Chains A and B, each alone.
Chain A
Amino acid sequence: MSALRPDLAIIAREVREGARVLDVGCGDGALMAALRDTKNVDARGLELNAHDVATAVSRGLSVIQGDADTDLAEYPDGSFDYAILSQTLQTTKRPDLVLDHLVRIGREAFVSFPNFAQWRIRFAHMFGGRMPVTKQLPHLWYDTPNIHHVTIDDFRSLLHDRNIEIEGQWFLSGNKPRGDRFANLLAQHAVFKLRRK
């Protein structure tokens, strides 16, 4: 099995053995498969892309083709130990509502996203005067799936407004973990563990 993406590796490490997990935007099911195989997790997935769903199902995973923006309302409160949203928040139409659903459906939630305030992006924006195209955010402005760019500080502020508590936070730059000092400036990716207050 290929190595997990670093943000997924953090989430996989933190998830409790034998938990029930909903992976929203699960892609081809890499995290779900790892959780099932290493932690005996009962994982369910939601994914928009039909080909990814087919791949995940053919790996024996329970994945439903659907849209985080419209389909999360169908899930009952507290029906999972964890709801996970990795690298998907910035692609949703209403990240705030999706976040509300996550902490409603999961007793705890993990959210990971690329930090739009990382210095390289700020630099490109400031001096290039163009929408930044980086290794982490490789899309041009007109065909990017990332329709709601978010920074670590923006996200913290949203959590505060929505009465959501931070239970853990991890930051990555260049796929390596880093401390939370100046994270909003220096981190390329953030992973938060959340719970409704």
Chain B
Amino acid sequence: MALLMQEDTRFGLDRKIRLLGPVRLDSGAEFVPVDIAYETYGALNADKSNAILICHALTGDQYVASTHPMTGKDGWWTRMVGPGKPIDPARHCIISINVMGSCMGSSGPASIDPTTGAAYAMGFPVITIPDMVRAQALLLDHLGIETLEAVVGGSMGGMQALSWAALYPERVKSAVVIASTARHSAQNIAFHEVGRQAIMADPRWNNGAYYGHEAPSSGLAVARMAAHITYLSEAGLTEKFGRRLQNRDAKSFGFDADFQVESYLRYQGLSFVDRFDANSYLYITRAMDYFDLAEPHDGVLAKAFARTKTRFCLISFDSDWLYPTAESRRIVHALNAAGAAVSFVELSSPFGHDAFLLEAPEMNRIVDGFLRAGEQS
């Protein structure tokens, strides 16, 4: 069996598949064909009960625990996923999928539209978080995985985990939702709109038709800078940079990056444009802004989880002002009202929203115990 799995080319690192779908989109359109880029780690067991789906955040990708091909950096969640970690390839068959709309191999605005032979650009349909999940479900069908032991995600990954539980309750035994929300708030939408306007104000954006030309990297860098501020806490920024000056003893009385925090943000912006597509940024932020899990249920979030058998574990961080604890609590109350088995804890961290990506032993302890308990039942 193990040998057969080794030879099964559906599993392994850096996979890509074109599925005929179609994905029925929330907009009413049907999308076909669907390219899906993904990775798997660890073997599926005989009764196919050990599959764990990892969902990535806005600018994440499928390289959750392997070296990123463009940056050469380690996977983005090696603290959670890997040998000896709560999500362990020795025990789990781990699946990590690049979301639809992204630019790391799954269908997105930079992909070639087979009907025209050119990039979709703004011809790509506007998608939602549930649409991303529907595309992921197609891949699981292709992999022959009916039921997930767990779906796990932070930030936008948590939105996907919630959507998985709402759309396919019978396919999800456990859901881990970290630093996330069941809806985008006015403030969330506002910050994203700043980012989108920065991209669209870059003359090189050219209504999205920049493929083959220079990309709107100035606009995308500014979008990233603005967003990056929302991932950190005020206390974290103060501790890391304070008012310290960057490689100089005095203010320049000009507009160079005098302050360390300016230099840091500029670097974050510049390094981001090398690995991310501006149109993907537009589409994915739009999907997040459209996210409101209660909306199709008359605004009653509990109805999204009616009669669910899925176990839930939610974690928030006290310094996260992007998706603050109150949003997690709102989900917890809805799950309680739906009679779901739910655990929730707010952890303390100075690092704001980004805390879920950083060293957090308590988070690992909780996720490990939660997953193991699900494996026993």
Q: Which residues of A line the B interface, CB within 8 A?
A: 44, 50-51, 53-54, 56-66, 74-76, 79
Q: How far is the CB of B31 from chain A (nearest CB, A)?
A: 38
> In the complex the two chains form, what is the Cα distance from A62 to B341 in whole Å?
6
Task: Flag whether B81 is at the interface (Cβ < 8 A).
Answer: no
Contact A57/B341 with A50-B348, A74-B333, A75-B336 known, Cβ cut-off 8 Å: no
> In the complex the two chains form, what is the Cα distance from A177 to B22 in whole Å?
68
Q: Which residues of B contact A56 (CB under 8 A)?
A: 343
Task: Flag whether B270 is at the interface (Cβ < 8 A).
Answer: no
Q: Which residues of A contact B337 (CB under 8 A)?
A: 74, 76
Q: Which residues of B contact A79 (CB under 8 A)?
A: 339
Q: How far is the CB of A63 from chain B (nearest CB, A)?
A: 5
Chain B: CB-nearest residue to A63: B343
Task: Flag whether B332 is at the interface (Cβ < 8 A).
Answer: yes
A54 touches B345 (CB 8 A): yes
Contact A53/B336 with A58-B366, A59-B369 known, Cβ cut-off 8 Å: no
Q: How far is the CB of A174 from chain B (nearest CB, A)?
A: 35
Chain A: CB-nearest residue to B339: A79
A54 touches B365 (CB 8 A): yes
Q: How far is the CB of B376 from chain A (nearest CB, A)?
A: 7
Q: Which residues of B contact A76 (CB under 8 A)?
A: 337
Task: Flag whether B355 is at the interface (Cβ < 8 A).
Answer: no
Q: Which residues of A contact B369 (CB under 8 A)?
A: 57-60
Chain B: CB-nearest residue to A44: B341
Contact A62/B343 with A54-B365, A74-B336, A76-B337 known, Cβ cut-off 8 Å: yes
A57 contacts which of B336, B346, B366 (Cβ < 8 Å)? Answer: B366
B346 touches A64 (CB 8 A): no
Q: How far is the CB of B327 from chain A (nearest CB, A)?
A: 14
Task: Flag whether B373 is at the interface (Cβ < 8 A).
Answer: yes
A64 touches B336 (CB 8 A): yes
Chain A: CB-nearest residue to B348: A50
A65 touches B373 (CB 8 A): no
Contact A57/B343 with A50-B348, A74-B333 known, Cβ cut-off 8 Å: yes
B345 touches A65 (CB 8 A): yes
B343 contacts which of A50, A64, A74, A75 (Cβ < 8 Å)? Answer: A64
Q: Interface centre among B336, B339, B366, B376, by most A CB within 10 Å? A: B336
Contact A60/B368 with A74-B333, A75-B336 known, Cβ cut-off 8 Å: no
Contact A57/B339 with A64-B332, A74-B333 known, Cβ cut-off 8 Å: no
Please, what's the 1-or-0 string for B333-377, where 1 marks a CB less than 8 Å from any CB in chain A? 100110101111111100000000000001001101110111010
Besides the contacts A53-B345, A79-B339, what 11 more A-B pairs have beta carbons closer than 8 Å?
Answer: A53-B343, A53-B344, A54-B345, A57-B343, A57-B345, A58-B368, A60-B369, A62-B311, A64-B342, A64-B343, A74-B337
Q: How far is the CB of A178 from chain B (nearest CB, A)?
A: 37
Task: Give 5 CB contacts A-B under 8 Å.
Answer: A58-B366, A58-B370, A59-B369, A59-B373, A60-B372
A50 touches B370 (CB 8 A): no
A50 touches B336 (CB 8 A): no
B341 touches A64 (CB 8 A): no
> In the complex the two chains form, what is the Cα distance from A57 to B347 in whole Å?
13
Task: Flag whether B132 is at the interface (Cβ < 8 A).
Answer: no
Q: Which residues of B contact A74 (CB under 8 A)?
A: 333, 336-337
Q: Which residues of A contact B341 (CB under 8 A)?
A: 44, 62
Chain B: CB-nearest residue to A76: B337
